[in-house]
């Protein structure tokens, strides 16, 4: 597919707090989420220092000696937390070329009984680098901010769908499941492919993406790709599969990818995937008639089935993306 000249819309969240601007803002969100499933958001209230710190410490982590990074390698975590070298994650069976650290909700390791659901294995502690102790405090602070922003956005999406603002609260309170990644994409001279991350959809409610300075994200639209370069002071927000299922496809979890940057450069990003509780099930909303007339149904992809059971959906994704962790810690969950 070729690269389109179109751009993603930029929406100012402060318009939602203005009673006069709110109806037009919700209409813009509805249109953007229906057509593209992606938009930039400004007016989000993030402290600039927090954003600077998370990017600074992400760069510092990736600059550590390999031994310090491998000390928290994901293969050591049954909860799929920790560091991955380039080429250790897969999208639709193809190798992604990025190094990253995955952080989830910080919890104690669960004591699992024989009747515990398989997705309970996703709960547990993160791995933190001893060589960069400052990272833990900043990551947890960023997770708290990003969770709050994600809930605000979910309330916005609910209203844009003609629902009560708290229409989804029952499935994300009191313990939402989320995943955060700090990611580095090395320049194209280090890989024979330009696949930083292959074409895919996100599985949660919403994704909040912080980009540094190098572009690479591309969003599918009408047989082309729309480039989504960094814009200072913004996050990129996109619809996840939970919202697609709940709206019967009115909101579309759109396909996107990341291409590796040019030789001699690198791309840094921080992705926050906010999801529902692992023990919850996605409801089907009753949409107002004007919206119901435009529903498209849920995307059918034999290579990526969507399950309404949240825990099952998350576990499916992790087992497929990290086969090495699955083989070491969860061989009983793998299909022969």
Provide the 3-class DSSP secondary structure of residue 41.
strand
- In this prediction, residue 299 carries a pLDDT of 85
Task: Determine, yes or no, domain membership for 27.
Answer: yes
Task: Determine, yes or no, domain membership for 181.
Answer: yes
pTM of the predicted model as reported, rounded to 2 decimal places: 0.94
The CATH number that applies at residue 28 is: 2.60.120.330
- In this prediction, residue 97 carries a pLDDT of 77
Outline where 89-162 has alpha helix (H): 134-160
In our burial notation (b when 16+ CB lie closer than 10 A, e otherwise), range 45-67 reads ebeeeebebbbebbeebbeeeee
E strands present in the chain:
2-4, 10-12, 38-42, 82-84, 90-91, 94-95, 99-104, 178-186, 195-200, 206-211, 217-221, 224-227, 235-239, 256-259, 266-274
- In this prediction, residue 328 carries a pLDDT of 96
Q: How many CB atoms lie within 10 A of CB 231?
A: 14
Q: What is the CA radius of gyration of the chain?
A: 19
Task: Determine, yes or no, domain membership for 242.
Answer: yes
Q: Tokens at residue 141, please? A: 């602070």
Task: Determine, yes or no, domain membership for 336.
Answer: no
d(CA 273, CA 150): 9
Identify the domain containing residue 47 by its residue range.
Answer: 2-331
Specify the number of domains making up the chain: 1
What phi, psi does 280 have (nearest 5°)? Answer: -100, 170
Which residues of the chain, if any, have pLDDT below 50? Answer: 1
- In this prediction, residue 196 carries a pLDDT of 62
Q: Tokens at residue 192, please? A: 């024979």
- In this prediction, residue 14 carries a pLDDT of 97
């Amino acid at each position: 597919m070729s690269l389109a000249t179109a751009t993603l819309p930029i929406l100012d969240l402060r318009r939602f707090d203005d009673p006069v601007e709110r109806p037009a803002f919700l209409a813009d969100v509805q249109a953007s989420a229906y057509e593209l499933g992606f938009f930039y958001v400004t007016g989000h209230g993030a402290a600039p220092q927090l954003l600077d710190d998370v990017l600074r410490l992400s760069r510092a982590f990736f600059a550590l000696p390999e031994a310090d990074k491998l000390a928290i390698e994901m293969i050591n975590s049954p909860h799929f937390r920790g560091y991955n070298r380039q080429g250790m994650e897969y999208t639709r069976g193809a190798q992604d070329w990025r190094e990253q650290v995955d952080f989830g909700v910080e919890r104690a390791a669960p004591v699992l009984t024989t009747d515990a659901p398989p997705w309970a294995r996703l709960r547990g502690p993160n791995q933190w680098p001893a060589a960069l102790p400052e990272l833990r405090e900043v990551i947890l602070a960023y997770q708290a901010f990003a969770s709050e922003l994600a809930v605000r956005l979910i309330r916005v999406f609910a209203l844009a769908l003609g629902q009560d603002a708290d229409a989804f609260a029952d499935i994300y309170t009191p313990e939402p499941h989320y995943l955060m990644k700090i990611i580095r994409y090395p320049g194209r001279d280090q890989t024979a492919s330009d696949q930083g991350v292959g074409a895919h959809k996100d599985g949660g409610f919403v994704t909040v993406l912080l980009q540094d300075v190098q572009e690479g994200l591309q969003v599918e639209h009408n047989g082309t790709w729309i480039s989504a370069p960094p814009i200072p002071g913004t996050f990129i927000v996109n619809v996840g599969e939970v919202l697609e299922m709940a709206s019967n496809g009115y909101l579309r979890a759109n396909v996107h990818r990341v291409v590796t940057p040019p030789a001699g450069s690198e791309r840094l990003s921080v992705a926050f995937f906010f999801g529902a509780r692992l023990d919850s099930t996605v409801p089907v909303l009753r949409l107002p008639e004007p919206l119901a007339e435009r529903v498209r149904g849920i995307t059918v992809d034999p290579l990526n089935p969507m399950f309404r059971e949240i825990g099952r959906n998350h576990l499916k994704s992790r087992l497929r993306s990290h086969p090495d962790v699955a083989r070491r810690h969860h061989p009983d969950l793998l299909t022969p």
